[in-house]
């Protein structure tokens, strides 16, 4: 054996681990464009939260820890095979219903809603937040193997699958999340090709039933929110206070804002819930129209990437699930921003990845992890077989 042959033989065992490591790294399912956009939004959120909380270090560290856990959850979910996700959808849904029922029995109340589970040895969490992505999954599972567009009885069954968790969340006095879960079901049905006549009929029924809901079902604080939406100055120190202060903050920010940490409305605690539901007002006051548009641009890019994943999905289940996730994120962002600027009544939906939170943030990361898994499955299906 000459010296060249000996060098090749001795180097081969060292090359094999490196090659295996490269193959393992290549097999990890990560959508880097989606990951970068999500992390940019989280950094934007941490900066806004630092200002809204007047530099509360403990709160920022807690939020950063939750973001870190969310990233790990997203990357873990991204590795799941789509066939496993599809088979597990119904079981996760049933488990979610069980947790919602448990909340009604032993749940903890916070901010007027009985939505939290505080079990011994486990951190508090809010099962209803997870259902906004579980519901699109179970509806995609139900509709994927059936002829589309869905027939009337299939629409009824799918509607019940979404209505049951939404009703349980309503019983927890969390109308915002209940509306989001119900809309998640509607979005999947629309993506499946549900007849527009049915949509129009359902919208008409909801419109006709709204006065009855207002008179006989709505709670006093819900009625006050609707009245304050119509004219917040009818009760400027009560129900209308939030939206008045929010609009003052947004208007005072102007085009370029007052500067980081210089927002008077947030710094002096005029904006209630400034680090949760109304954090967009803090951003608009301190960073102005430019900062608000930059944030919205990040959301638009994120949603555009999600739509691309949905369009490229290789089967109906993945397409319906991806489309449902994207529309849930869009609806959440749209309602929060519209609520803060006074275009919609206040219903208590946080701004995704920006507002302070725990379960809500983790839930969004799980949703983005599902998008990554769908994208990886699609790219794998497009690879030529050797």
Q: Which of 216, 214, 217 is nearest to 230 (CA)?
A: 214
Q: Kindly report, residue by residue over 288-341, the tens digit of the pLDDT.
A: 999 999 999 999 999 999 999 999 998 999 999 999 999 999 999 999 999 999
When divided into structural domains, the chain yields a total of 2
Does residue 264 sit in the same domain as residue 358? yes
Q: Which two tokens stand for residue 175?
A: 């109308």
Write out the residue range of the structural domain in which residue 342 sits: 30-79+232-386
Residue 272's CB is within 10 A of a number of other CB atoms, namely: 12
* Same-domain pairing of 246 and 274: yes
Domain shared by 213 and 240, yes or no: no
The pLDDT tens digits for 29-80 are 899 999 999 999 999 999 999 988 888 889 999 999 999 999 999 999 999 9
Is residue 6 in some structural domain?
Answer: no
Same domain, 164 and 146: yes
Q: Same domain, yes or no, for 212 and 97?
A: yes
The Cα–Cα gap between 87 and 91 comes to 8
Using the predicted structure, report yes or no on whether residue 385 has a pLDDT greater than 60. Answer: no
pLDDT over 70, % of the chain: 91
* 339 assigned to some structural domain: yes
**pLDDT exceeds cutoff 60 at 384:** no
> Could you please report the per-residue DSSP string of 200-266?
HHHHHHHHHHHHHIIIII--HHHHHHHHHHH-GGGSTTTTTHHHHHHHHHHHHHTTT-S-TT--HHH
Average pLDDT for the chain: 88
What average pLDDT does the segment 359-371 reach? Answer: 96
Same domain, 36 and 146: no
Contact at 8 Å (CB) between 139 and 164?
Answer: no
Query: Which segments within the chain are labelled E, that is strand?
Result: 108-110, 113-116
Say if 12 falls within a structural domain: no
Task: Pick the closest to residue 348 from 170, 125, 122 (CA basis).
Answer: 170
Do 95 and 174 sit in the same domain of this protein? yes
Q: Of 194, 218, 242, which residue sits at a domain end?
A: 218
**140 and 198 assigned to the same domain:** yes
Residues 179 and 306 in one domain: no
Question: Among residues 164, 189, 218, which one ends one of the domains?
Answer: 218
Flag whether 191 is in a domain: yes
Residue 24 lies in a domain: no
Q: Percent of the chain scored above 90 by pLDDT? A: 59
Q: Give a yes or no: residue 147 inside a domain.
A: yes
């Amino acid at each position: 054996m000459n010296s060249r042959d000996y060098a090749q033989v001795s180097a081969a065992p060292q090359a094999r681990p490196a090659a295996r490591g490269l193959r393992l790294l290549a097999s990890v399912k990560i959508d880097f464009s989606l990951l970068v956009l999500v992390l940019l939004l989280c950094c934007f959120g941490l900066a806004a939260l630092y200002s809204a909380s007047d530099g509360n270090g403990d709160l920022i560290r807690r939020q950063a820890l939750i973001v870190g856990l969310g990233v790990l959850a997203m990357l873990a979910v991204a590795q799941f095979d789509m066939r496993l996700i599809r088979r597990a959808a119904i079981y996760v849904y049933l488990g979610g219903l069980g947790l919602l029922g448990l909340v009604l029995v032993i749940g903890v109340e916070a901010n007027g809603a009985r939505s939290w589970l505080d079990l011994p040895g486990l951190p508090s969490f809010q099962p209803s937040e997870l259902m906004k992505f579980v519901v699109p999954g179970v509806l995609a599972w139900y509709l994927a193997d059936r002829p589309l567009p869905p027939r009337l009885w299939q629409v009824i069954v799918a509607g019940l699958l979404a209505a049951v968790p939404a009703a349980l969340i309503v019983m927890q006095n969390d109308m915002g999340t209940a509306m989001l879960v119900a809309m998640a079901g509607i979005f999947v049905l629309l993506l499946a090709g549900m007849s527009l006549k049915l949509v129009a009929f359902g919208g008409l029924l909801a419109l006709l039933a709204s006065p009855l809901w207002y008179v006989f079902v709505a709670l006093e604080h819900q009625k006050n929110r609707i009245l304050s939406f119509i004219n917040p100055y009818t009760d400027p120190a009560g129900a209308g206070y939030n939206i008045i202060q929010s609009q003052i903050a947004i208007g005072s920010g102007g085009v370029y804002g007052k500067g980081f940490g210089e927002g008077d409305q947030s710094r002096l605690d005029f904006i209630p819930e400034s680090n949760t539901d109304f954090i967009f007002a803090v951003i608009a006051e301190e960073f102005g129209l430019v900062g608000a548009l930059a944030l919205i641009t990040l959301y638009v890019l994120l949603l555009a990437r999600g739509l691309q994943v949905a369009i490229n999905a290789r089967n109906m289940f993945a397409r319906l699930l991806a489309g449902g996730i994207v529309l849930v994120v869009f609806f959440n962002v749209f309602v929060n921003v519209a609520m803060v600027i006074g275009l919609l009544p206040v219903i208590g939906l946080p701004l995704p990845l920006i507002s302070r939170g725990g379960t809500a943030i983790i839930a969004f990361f799980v949703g983005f992890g599902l998008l990554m898994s769908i994208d990886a499955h699609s790219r794998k299906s497009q690879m030529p077989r050797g």
